[in-house]
Amino acid sequence: MHKLLLSTSVGAFALLSFGAANADELVTLQKDPKQWALPTGDYANTRYSSLKQINTENVGKLAPAWTFSTGVLRGHEGAPLVVGDVMYLHTPFPNIVYALDLNDSGKILWKYEPKQDPSVVPVMCCDTVNRGLAYGDGKIFLAQADTTLVALDAKTGKLVWSVKNGDPSKGQTSTAAPHVFKDKVFVGIAGGEFGVRGHITAYDVKDGKEVWRGYSMGPDADTLIDPDKTTHLGKPVGKDSGISTWEGEQWKTGGGTTWGWYSYDPELNLIYYGSGNPSTWNPKQRPGDNRWSMTIWARDLDTGKVKWLYQMTPHDEWDYDGINEMILADQDMGAGVKRKTLVHFDRNGFAYTLDRVTGELLVAEKYDPAVNWATKVDMDKNSPTYGRPQVVAKYSTDKNGEDTNTQGVCPAALGSKDEQPASFNPDTGLFYVPTNHVCMDYEPFRVSYTAGQPYVGATLEMFPAGRVLGDKTDNTGNFIAWDARAGKIVWSDKEQFSVWSGTVTTAGGLAFYGTLEGYLKAVDLKTGKELYKFKTPSGIIGNVITYEHAGKQYVAVLSGVGGWAGIGLAAGLSKSNEGLGAVGNYASLSNYTALGGVLTVFALPN
C-alpha cells in the first residue's frame, strides 16, 4: 500500500504529517484535477474540475467503465474520494468504508465496518444517510451515525483514533461529511428535530484532541461571539445575542444544527457554514428571532471566534434550514471591482451573495419562481427591516396559529434546494444548481420536549409547485444556471422529480448531475442542452465527481435512492404525510426505481 501511494505524482505528499505540511498537502491535492481529495473538491466548495478530456463534443460516447456494489440498501448521499491510486468509498448506516485499488479494477484494499448500536437509526431524521469522508495527514475521517468521529490510516484502514462528538440518546446524530482544513478536522451535529442545540467542533487531525467548539445559540462563551467585534449586517451583535431573542431557556433546546457543508478561505483564515432550523417546528412555542439558527457563520479557523454572521430566516416558521453549502468565488460585482464573495442557495428559496470578508449583503433574489412565503429581502440599508425577508401574512404559520393548516406555501420544508451541492464554473462565471420545485401545507401543533424524543410539532403535506402556480405542470425539480451577480436564472431544465444530486462542472463545458429516477446526465454549460444520460441501478442522491487515472478521465457517482426525497422507498413508508411530509410528493418514484447501493464509474471508450 505504501508503494501504491508513492507511485502517484502527489503520492509523496500523502505521507506528510500534520500542521503546515498537512495544509500544504491538501492545497496541492485540490489543485491537481486528477484527484478528488476533499468532499466538495476544494476548500471553496466550487465542485469544479479543469479536466476536459470529456467535453461537449464527445460526451455522448460516455459509457460505464466499472461498478461496485456497497452492500447497503438505504440512501447513498455524498461521493467517493480519490487520492493517488486509491478511491475511498462510504455507505449509509452502518457506515462501511472501502478503499479500492484503481490500478486493479477497483479491488478492495481494505474495509472498515464500525460496530454501532442500531438504536441510533430511529433518531436519524431523514434516512440513514452519510455525506462522505475527509482526507488529511495520511488519514481518512468518518463521522459515524452515532456521532463517533474516527481517523483511519489511509494505507491500512486501521483505527488511529476516535472521539465521541455527541449523544444519540439525546437525539444527536451525524450525517455530514467531516472537513479537514489545515491541521484540524471539523465536524457538526444533526438532530434539530429532537431539540438538539447545534455546534461545530474542531479536532486536531493528529490525535483527535478537541481544539474548540462553537454553539449556534447560548451565551457568548458558548457561541464564541465577541459582542463588540462580531457583526451582523455591519453592526456589533451585542452581549449574549444567542440568548436575547429566545424566551426563557428555550435556547438550550434551540436547534440550529450544523449538518451541512463547510468551506475555508486560507487568506482570511475563516471557515464558513450554515446553521439549521430552530426547535420546534411550531413557531408559536418559541417567540423571537431565535438567533443564531438559520444563519451564515464566519469563524476564525484557529480559535473559533466569530467574525460575522447573517441570519437569513429570523423566527423560522417553515423549517428552512440554512445548512446548504457556502461557495467562495471571487467576482466582479460592478464597476470593475472584484470582491471576495460567498454565494449560498438557501432552503428558503433565496440565493444570497455576500462579501465574505465583511459579511455585507450584496444580492438576495429568488432562484425558483414558485417562492411565495416572502416577497423579497429588504435591501435598503436605512430600513429597520434591512436584510430581513418580507413575509407574506397568508403564508405565515405563526400568525395563522397552532392547529391551523397553512396551505400552498412555497417552497416546501425541503427547500428550493436542500444539502445537494451546487457548482461554480469560472469559465462561465455561473453557478449550476440542483433544485426542488415543491410546495406544502403546514399545520403546527403544540409539543413538549423530552430528551431523545421527536420535537417536531408540525404536520406537513408536499406537492408539485404547479398546483400552486396554476400552470398545470407536475415537475418537482429544475436544474438551473444562476448569475449570482445579477441574481437571475440564466436557463432552467425541468426534471420530473427533485434534483437531489450534487453537481460537478468541468473545463470541458459540461455540468454533470443525477436524477431521482437514477439517470446520470450531462448538459451544456452555456445552454443547458442535454448531451448524455444513462440510467444507473437506483435513484441518485449522491454527488457526481470527476478524476483522472492513468491518463484517462472518469466520472463517478453513487446511486441508491433515499434521503428525505426518497424516504418512502428507503424506509417503506406509504402515508402521504409521513417522512416529515415528503412521502406523498414522491409516491410515484417507486414506478421508476428501487433500492440499491452502487458506485458507477464512467469513461470514454478506448
- Pairwise pLDDT comparison (511 vs 14), residue with the higher score: 511
Mean pLDDT of 554-567: 96
Model pLDDT, residue 105: 87
Closest by Cα among 3, 1, 27, 5 to 14: 5
CA torsion sign for 578, 535, 72, 2 is negative
**pLDDT value at 314 more than 70:** yes
Model pLDDT, residue 15: 35
Look at residue 318 and tell me if it is in a domain.
yes
**Alpha helices per DSSP H over 171-301:** 220-223, 241-244
Taking the C-alpha atoms of residue 587 and residue 568, their distance in angstroms, rounded to an integer, is: 7
Look at residue 207 and tell me if it is in a domain.
yes
Mean pLDDT of 377-381: 98
Q: Residues 541, 501: contact at Cβ < 8 Å?
A: yes
Label residue 483 left, alpha or beta by phi (over 0 means left) and psi (-120 to 50 means alpha): beta
**pLDDT value at 588 more than 60:** yes
Confidence grade of residue 432 (pLDDT, cut at 50, 70, 90): very high
Model pLDDT, residue 12: 32
**CATH number, domain at 218?**
2.40.128.630
- pLDDT 10s digits, 458-472: 999 999 999 999 988
Model pLDDT, residue 16: 35
Measured CA to CA in angstroms, residue 403 lies from 283, 398, 516 at distances of: 12, 10, 33
Look at residue 1 and tell me if it is in a domain.
no
Percentage of the chain surpassing pLDDT 90?
94
pTM: 0.95
Label residue 57 left, alpha or beta by phi (over 0 means left) and psi (-120 to 50 means alpha): alpha
Model pLDDT, residue 336: 86
Mean pLDDT of 531-546: 98
Measured CA to CA in angstroms, residue 21 lies from 18, 27, 430, 488 at distances of: 6, 10, 33, 42
**pLDDT value at 215 more than 80:** yes
Mean pLDDT of 177-182: 97
355 a catalytic residue: no
Model pLDDT, residue 17: 40
Look at residue 540 and tell me if it is in a domain.
no
Closest by Cα among 292, 342, 349, 298 to 320: 349
Confidence grade of residue 123 (pLDDT, cut at 50, 70, 90): very high
Look at residue 61 and tell me if it is in a domain.
no
Q: How many CA atoms lie within 13 A of 418 on its CB side?
A: 25
**Among 115-129, 297-311, 402-416, the least confident range:** 115-129
Mean pLDDT of 302-317: 98
Taking the C-alpha atoms of residue 55 and residue 59, their distance in angstroms, rounded to an integer, is: 6
Mean pLDDT of 271-296: 98
Taking the C-alpha atoms of residue 458 and residue 358, their distance in angstroms, rounded to an integer, is: 37
Of 42, 319, 398, 441, the active-site residue reads 319
Task: Number of helices (H) and strands (E) in the chain: give both, helices first.
Answer: 6, 42
Look at residue 252 and tell me if it is in a domain.
yes
Q: How many CA atoms lie within 13 A of 30 on its CB side?
A: 23
Look at residue 289 and tell me if it is in a domain.
yes
* Burial category of 267 from C-beta neighbours within 10 Å (exposed 0-12, middle 13-18, buried 19 and up): exposed
- pLDDT 10s digits, 68-89: 999 999 999 999 999 999 999 9
Label residue 429 left, alpha or beta by phi (over 0 means left) and psi (-120 to 50 means alpha): left
**pLDDT value at 133 more than 60:** yes
Closest by Cα among 342, 339, 338 to 351: 342
- pLDDT 10s digits, 244-263: 999 999 999 999 999 999 99
Closest by Cα among 464, 459, 427 to 445: 459
Taking the C-alpha atoms of residue 367 and residue 177, their distance in angstroms, rounded to an integer, is: 26
C-alpha cell at 57: 463534443
Look at residue 268 and tell me if it is in a domain.
yes
Taking the C-alpha atoms of residue 308 and residue 321, their distance in angstroms, rounded to an integer, is: 19
Model pLDDT, residue 14: 34
What value, to the nearest 5°, has the Cα angle with vertex 228 and ends 224 and 232?
80
Confidence grade of residue 20 (pLDDT, cut at 50, 70, 90): low
The number of domains in the chain is 1
Taking the C-alpha atoms of residue 351 and residue 577, their distance in angstroms, rounded to an integer, is: 28
Closest by Cα among 108, 119, 136, 115 to 23: 136
**pLDDT value at 5 more than 60:** no
Q: Residues 215, 255: contact at Cβ < 8 Å?
A: no
The one-letter amino acid at 466: G
Q: Which domain holds residue 311?
A: 132-323
- pLDDT 10s digits, 139-163: 999 999 999 999 999 999 999 999 9
